[in-house]
Amino acid sequence: MLEKDDFKNVTVIYNSFNPNLYRFSKKDKERFKRQYGFNDKPLIYLGNCLKKKGVVETYNSLKYIDAHFVTSGNKDVELPIPNLTLSFEEYRLLLAASDIVITMSLFKEGWNRVAHEAVLCGTPVIGSGKGGMEELLMMSEQTISTSFEDLPHHVNRILEDKPIPNSYSLMKFDLHYFKKCWKAVLL
C-alpha cells in the first residue's frame, strides 16, 4: 500500500515472539482443560470477546456444533459462553489446549497476534484473512474463511482431520529476527 503511494525504502518487519514460550506438554494442556471444565468435547477459542473481532457472528454460526466455546480478555458483548481473564502463561495454554482458534475480525487487521501465537502452539487457525491476516494465514497454511456461513464446514473438517499447523514458517519470526531487522532499518 505504501509503495503504491510512491513511498521509497519500505521495509516489512513481521511481529515476532519467543517460540519457546509456546511449547506446552500434553499434561499441561490436559490440566488446563480440567481446570476450566473443558474435558469431554473439543475446545474452540473464538478470540477476544469484542464485537469488531466477529465473535457474535462466529458464535452464532457455530453454536450448534457439539464443542466447548470460549473467549478471553476484555469484552464488549455478552455471549452465553465463558470469557476467561487469564495471565499471559494461561492465555498461551488456552491457545495450546484449544482444538481450533478462530479469528474472524470484521475489520482489516495488520498482523493477527492471536493467529500467530496459536500456530506457534501447534493449534489450527481459521481466520477471515482481512488485511495482513491473509498473509499470515497463507504463510502458515491455515484456513481462510470469507464468510461466517462456511465456518461450520471448516470447523468440522479440522475436527475430523486434525491437521498440524505449519508453525515452522512463523518460528523464523523470533526475537533475534526482530532485533536484526530493526537494527538494519535504524542504522
| Each residue's pLDDT tens digit, 135-181 | 999 999 999 999 999 999 999 999 999 887 777 788 888 889 999 99
Q: Which residue has the cell 502463561?
A: 89
CB burial of 132-168 (b: ≥16 within 10 Å; e: otherwise) equals bbbebbeebebbbbeebeebeebbeebbeeeeebebe
Structure letter (DSSP) for residue 72: E
Per domain, the residue ranges of the chain are: 19-186
Residues 58-62: what's their mean pLDDT?
A: 98
Q: Residue 126 in contact with residue 102, Cβ under 8 Å?
A: yes
Question: Over the chain, what is the mean pLDDT?
Answer: 93
pLDDT at 85 over 80: yes
Of the CATH numbers 3.30.1370.10, 3.20.20.390, 3.90.950.20, 3.40.50.2000, which one belongs to the domain with range 19-186? 3.40.50.2000
What pLDDT does residue 168 have? 74
Confidence of residue 183 (pLDDT cuts 50, 70, 90): very high
pLDDT at 27 over 90: yes
Structure letter (DSSP) for residue 57: H
Gap between the Cα atoms of 120 and 6, Å rounded: 35
